[in-house]
Amino acid sequence: MSNTKHNMNNTKHNMNNTKHNIENENSIGENGYRNSPSPSRERGLGEESLFPRVGMGYDVHQLVEGRDLWLGGIKIEHSKGLLGHSDADVLIHAICDALLGAANLRDIGYHFPDTSDKTLNMDSKIILKKTMELLADKGYVLGNIDATVCAEHPKLNPHIPAMKTCLAQVIGCDEDQISIKATTTEKLGFTGREEGISAYAVALIAKK
Ligand SMILES: [Zn+2]
- What number is the average pLDDT over the span 166-185? 98
Domain 49-207 has CATH 3.30.1330.50: yes
Cβ count near 62 (within 10 Å): 16
- The more confidently predicted of residues 67 and 5 is 67
- 170 CA distance to ligand 1 middle (Å): 18
Q: Compute the distance between CA of residue 140 and CA of residue 137 in angstroms, rounded to an integer.
A: 7
Q: Give per-residue pLDDT as tens, 58-99.
A: 999 999 999 999 999 999 999 999 999 999 999 999 999 999
Section 155-179 average pLDDT: 98
**pLDDT at residue 81 in the model:** 97
How far does the centroid of ligand 1 lie from the alpha carbon of residue 87, in Å? 9
Percent of the chain with pLDDT over 90: 72
DSSP string, 79-116: SEEEESSS---HHHHHHHHHHHHHTT---HHHHS-TT-
Cα of 200 to ligand 1 centre, how many Å? 11
What does pTM read for this prediction? 0.78
pLDDT for the residue 152: 97
**Whether 100 contacts 106, CB under 8 Å:** yes
Domain boundaries, the chain: 2-42, 49-207
User: Averaged over 6-11, what is the pLDDT?
Assistant: 44
The pLDDT value recorded for residue 185 is 95
Give the residue-averaged pLDDT of 134-161: 97
Q: Which residues pair with 81 in a beta bridge?
A: 64
Instruction: Report how far apart the first and last C-alpha atoms of the chain are (Å, whole number).
Output: 43
What's the pLDDT score for residue 45? 53
**24 alpha carbon to ligand 1 midpoint, in Å?**
52
Is the pLDDT score of 2 beyond 50? no
- Cα(16) to centroid of ligand 1, in Å? 45
The answer for residues whose C-beta is within 8 angstroms of residue 198's C-beta and 6 or more apart is 58, 59, 60, 90, 149, 150, 191
CA 41 to ligand 1 center in whole angstroms: 39
3-state secondary structure (DSSP) of residue 43: coil
- 108: CA distance to ligand 1 center in Å? 8
Q: Is the pLDDT of residue 18 over 50?
A: no
Is residue 35 over pLDDT 80?
no
